């Protein structure tokens, strides 16, 4: 007799517990939603960094390209000296070993 009286209450409590657990911890639950939001924020920050890097690279290309109309001869000379290890005879070169460098 008591079992029949408490059976609907136990069933409803169990159903609420089951649905509540899956609402929080399930594949589409709140925890998954929060994890997805944090991943989106991380990815957007990575995207912002990539965009900034792209803008910097596009600026360098524009400064090196005569077709862009923004050819920077000083920058071209600087890059040529760096890549070709070129120096004028009257210049003094100071080399710093990476392990001895102090920042």
Is 16 part of a structural domain of the chain?
A: yes
- Burial (CB count <10 Å: 0-12, 13-18, 19+), residue 29: middle
Is 99 part of a structural domain of the chain?
A: no
Is 20 part of a structural domain of the chain?
A: yes
Can you tell me the distance from the alpha carbon of 103 to that of 97, in angstroms, rounded to the nearest whole number?
A: 12
Contact 61, 54 (CB under 8 A): no
Phi-psi label, residue 83: left if phi above 0, alpha if psi -120 to 50, beta otherwise: alpha
Is 58 part of a structural domain of the chain?
A: yes
Structure confidence by residue, pLDDT tens digits, 15-46: 999 888 888 887 888 898 999 999 999 999 99
SS (H, E, C) 46-71: HHHHHHHHHHHHHHHHHHHCHHHCCC
Structure confidence by residue, pLDDT tens digits, 87-103: 888 888 787 777 765 65
Is 4 part of a structural domain of the chain?
A: no
């Amino acid at each position: 007799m008591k079992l029949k009286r408490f059976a609907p209450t136990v069933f409803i409590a169990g159903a609420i517990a089951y649905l509540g657990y899956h609402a929080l911890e399930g594949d589409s639950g709140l925890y998954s939603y929060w994890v997805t939001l944090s991943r989106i924020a991380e990815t957007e920050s990575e995207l912002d960094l990539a965009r900034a890097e792209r803008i910097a690279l596009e600026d360098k290309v524009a400064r090196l390209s005569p077709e862009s109309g923004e050819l920077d001869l000083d920058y071209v000379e600087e890059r040529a000296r760096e890549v070709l290890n070129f120096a004028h005879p009257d210049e003094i070169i100071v080399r710093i070993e990476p392990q001895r460098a102090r920042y």
